[in-house]
Amino acid sequence: MTVSIALIIFSSVGLISCLYMITYFLFIKKENKLLDLSLGILFLAITLRVSKSVFYYVFSEISTLGVGIGFLGFASIGPLLFFYFNLSRNKSYSLSFKDALHFVFAITGFCVISFYKNYHYEFYLATKFQLAAYLIIIAKNYVFVNNKVQLSKWHIVLFYSIAALLGVFTFQFFIGNIEAYTAGTAFAFLIVFILFFVALKTPSVIKKIEPINLPQDLLDKIIRAIEIDKIYTQPAITLAQFSNAINTPTYLVSKATSKIYNKSFPEVINSFRIKEVTQKLVEPDHLNDKIEDLAFDVGFNTSSAFYNAFKKETSMTPRAYQKLISEKT
């Protein structure tokens, strides 16, 4: 009984922290609606899953609806974390109908568990593999990459916290006894506390940032450096290097490029590189040039980075683009 009371008290404090985060990101912070919405719903999903462990411990006869709601939260963590990282790196990203497909598994499992009262073991097992797959994708595309300019300490802590939660849930699942659920629930809320305190200490996450006044001469300086001086042709140029070149703090450059071009700094650089390549592809003097050579001339240092950026910018390969333009002329 003493352990149960202690767990309830500890969990209540953790739930209050989660509710604060949910309320803040869904209803108070309004800087980037999609980004804040994804983070608020992510904390809601974590709350639903962790709360299920608490109720399972305190109320051993937890209803299948409760198990289903816990599953819905659990199966939504991976997609929501993926969207949050995606939106953090690409501020201009807009959700489409196909993005809803990421949540088909969560909704299907919730309905089967809650209304058919079956297959809860299989669905919870599958969700662990699903979350692991999302973590691998996020790690490959956002965490373990060379260009970490857009990733903050908060993103890194969030990624590893979710990975730790997966470990806790897996431990609970395979050990299966009440002691495992007790220890797992305590560790899960400890992870939630860590996220809560890191968020409190990260102004860009928990504190609304006042609008920054960007003088016109700064905007003109950035436009001149990019469009006239073609600083983007420098291989592997980073936000920090660009900021040093024009003697301007990185946060101002980041804000300014977003205001001018409605894109992040890496997206702006790649966009101008691709624009120059597309111009050269249709010029008679460059018809016989290797496409990779054109890519290296504008600042790309690997062919794979060039082809990925080109397809993202034009939705086709360089040769297909060249053929299309030649047919029109």
pLDDT tens figures, 99-117: 899 999 999 999 999 888 8
Q: What Rg, from alpha-carbon coordinates, does the chain have?
A: 24
Nearest to 94 by CA among 104, 103, 83: 83
pLDDT tens figures, 45-96: 998 888 876 666 555 556 788 788 889 999 999 999 999 998 888 766 777 8
Section 130-138 average pLDDT:
96
Phi, psi of 38 (to 5 degrees): -65, -40
CA 112 to chain centre: 29
pLDDT tens figures, 221-265: 999 999 999 999 998 888 889 999 999 888 889 889 988 998 888
Domain range 216-328, its CATH number among 1.10.1200.10, 3.90.960.10, 1.10.10.60, 3.50.50.60 = 1.10.10.60
Put simply, whether the predicted model's pTM sits higher than 0.85 gets the answer: no
Alpha carbon distance 214, 256 (integer Å): 7
Query: What are the boundaries of each domain within the chain?
Result: 2-206, 216-328
Evaluate whether 74 touches 49 at the Cβ level (below 8 Å): yes
Alpha carbon distance 74, 124 (integer Å): 8
Give, in order, the Cα–Cα distances in Å from 8 to each of 112, 185, 186, 287, 304: 29, 10, 10, 71, 52
